[in-house]
């Protein structure tokens, strides 16, 4: 039978433990292009499927520094260059008075970086994804755990991969169509 255009093969597990074990073995088997889907974060799972670098903290740092610099620069220039005013005999550059705003802006930009950075890196919003085509995948947001090995994977072989997944105490294994 000729291949329908396939995204990958997905296995459903009942407990995080089983999934984690399966993921580790799959990685050991040499599978690289795979992803696991769970209703809640499971520690070590991402590493298990070969996730290494997380750039988010760096983004947040940059965001924070930008906010900090921008805010103070703005205040300083307003009060000393753009329109200096004698306010209650205070010096033009009353840096102590500028700290609160600088701080708040720092936090604001860092937080924005964190959230939008996370969404961007995760490629969200993404209304459509092949895995949604699997009927039982709705349970991924409830009490089931999924491991999907993608067709893109060089080591991917429909029959072999399917067999492999079935061998991992999975509850069911189904195809993910594009």
Q: Closest separation between CB of residue 118 and another protein, Å?
A: 4
Q: Closest separation between CB of residue 2 and another protein, Å?
A: 29
Q: Closest separation between CB of residue 87 and another protein, Å?
A: 5
Using the minimum distance from each CB to another protein, give the nearer residue, 80 or 167. Answer: 80
Q: How many other β-carbons are positioned within 10 Å of the β-carbon of residue 122?
A: 10
Using the minimum distance from each CB to another protein, give the nearer residue, 1 or 126. Answer: 126
Cα 69 off chain centre by: 28
The DSSP bridge partners found for residue 9 are 149, 175
- Give dist(CA 3, CA 108) in Å, integer: 50
Q: Closest separation between CB of residue 1 and another protein, Å?
A: 29
Q: Which two tokens stand for residue 107?
A: 């936090």
- Give dist(CA 84, CA 86) in Å, integer: 7
Q: Closest separation between CB of residue 159 and another protein, Å?
A: 25
Q: Which two tokens stand for residue 96?
A: 């102590």
Burial of 40 (0-12, 13-18, 19+ CB in 10 A): exposed
Using the minimum distance from each CB to another protein, give the nearer residue, 118 or 178. Answer: 118
Using the minimum distance from each CB to another protein, give the nearer residue, 3 or 35. Answer: 35
Using the minimum distance from each CB to another protein, give the nearer residue, 1 or 26. Answer: 26
Nearest alpha carbon to residue 72 among 96, 110, 94, 99? 99
Give every CB contact of residue 140 below 8 A, 6+ residues apart in sequence: 37, 38, 39, 131, 146
């Amino acid at each position: 039978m000729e291949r329908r255009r396939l995204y990958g093969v997905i296995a459903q597990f009942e407990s995080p433990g089983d999934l984690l074990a399966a993921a580790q073995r799959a990685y050991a088997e040499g599978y690289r292009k795979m992803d696991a889907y769970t209703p809640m974060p499971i520690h070590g799972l991402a590493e298990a499927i070969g996730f290494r670098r997380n750039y988010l903290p760096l983004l947040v740092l940059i965001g924070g520094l930008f906010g900090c610099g921008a805010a103070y620069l703005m205040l300083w220039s307003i009060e000393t260059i753009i329109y200096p005013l004698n306010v209650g005999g205070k010096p033009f550059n009353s840096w102590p008075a500028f700290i609160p705003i600088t701080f708040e802006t720092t936090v604001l930009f860092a937080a924005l970086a964190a959230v939008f950075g996370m969404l961007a890196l995760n490629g969200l919003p993404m209304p459509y994804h092949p895995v949604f085509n699997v009927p039982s995948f709705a349970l991924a947001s409830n009490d089931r755990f999924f491991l999907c090995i993608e067709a893109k994977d060089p080591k991917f072989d429909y029959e072999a991969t399917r067999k492999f997944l079935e061998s991992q105490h999975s509850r069911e294994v189904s195809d993910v169509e594009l």
